[in-house]
Structure 1
Amino acid sequence: MAKEILVLDIETTGFLNQGGKIVEIGIVKLDLDTGEVTPVYDSLIKEDGLNASHTRGGFGWIFQNSDLQFEDVLEAPSLESQREEIQDLLDQYRVTAYNKAFDFGFLKDRGFQIKELDCPMHLSTPIVKLPAANGRRGFKWPKVEEAWDFFFGDTGYIEAHRGLDDAAHEAKIVYKLYQMGEFPYMVSLFD
């Protein structure tokens, strides 16, 4: 039986506790035996309540730091129209996300059920060993680009802040962690 998991990435207009809206979801399947990454879901999402206020201030970050356009999101399918397809994928596989507390927090808040795996950002932290800011003890959580540069060298990768592209790169980080013996795998997860 193949050891396949999902790596998920969402894009939002802001933080959950600030009323942010999901605007894109990308999901890839990662084969832990081969490292093969296969796209399985990629869609813009328009949630109820999304409006022009989500393009300004803290809400406008995604539109200012990616090629995602607010006008495109206005034409996107609703989260409710995509719910069954997304939940079906989440039911079939174990799932992780880079900074999973952020991504999974939104999805759980919207009623999705997730069979969670460990967070690759947290697993990368003691390996990448970036100094914590302001004299704090320990290490800071590496951003995706920082983990990528550590594991793969300075390839010039710049995070696109688009769901599917980010999920694909994050899956390669997960696979690297798995190869190093740092991404937990138990046969019981895949029974």
Structure 2
Amino acid sequence: MQDQFEQFWAQDLKEKRKVISGARHRASRLGRVGRMRLPADCMDRKQRKEYMKPGEVKVYNMYDNVIPKEEFGSLPVEKQRELLLKWRDDPRIGVKGIIESWNVSRGTYYKKTKELGLSFSKMREKRTATKTKEQAQELSSNTVHIIEEKLINRFALQLEGEYEGRCLTDRLEKLGLILNSEAKYMISIQIIEL
């Protein structure tokens, strides 16, 4: 089996060499006598050297620069998701850089983000998390008071005040992390919807 591949390889190389050498030295079919002439044959040595020099190689990293939208659309969904996350989180590119390089609107960008199943950027989440001064004062008045009764390994917790649903669930989840699974607890909860 290996010999057949080697024979095929040798035969293929022989044919290619014959074609290459023949094309350069074969007479023209247009009636002119002599071999085929290439542009480099008409140049002097300095020009030929400059002409034969390799061109500039353009290299880009998919993660450093935003590729065109058409090329991005032809990639598999997993690769699209990965690239979009990297570009969005890169401080040099960000959402603004993606929108500018693709020449699309914000709505189109966020539609594509939603199609790929990605969450929106962290900046948007931070904006919704900001609170007014009144809410901040209200929350500071609703602080959690930890009462230590004796120098025994136990604690008591009392929550009073008005809380938003999200805020209350966060606090109760954090309380679950503090509790010891082997200890016994007495609990009294009263929650009233306003």
Same fold (TM over 0.5): no
User: TM-score range with shorter-chain normalisation?
Assistant: under 0.3
In our comparison, the structure showing a higher alpha carbon Rg is: 2
Q: When the two structures are superposed, what TM-score results if normalisation uses the length of structure 1?
A: 0.19
Q: Report 1 or 2 for greater relative contact order, CA contacts < 8 Å, sequence distance ≥ 6.
A: 1
Structure with the higher fraction of residues in strand conformation: 1
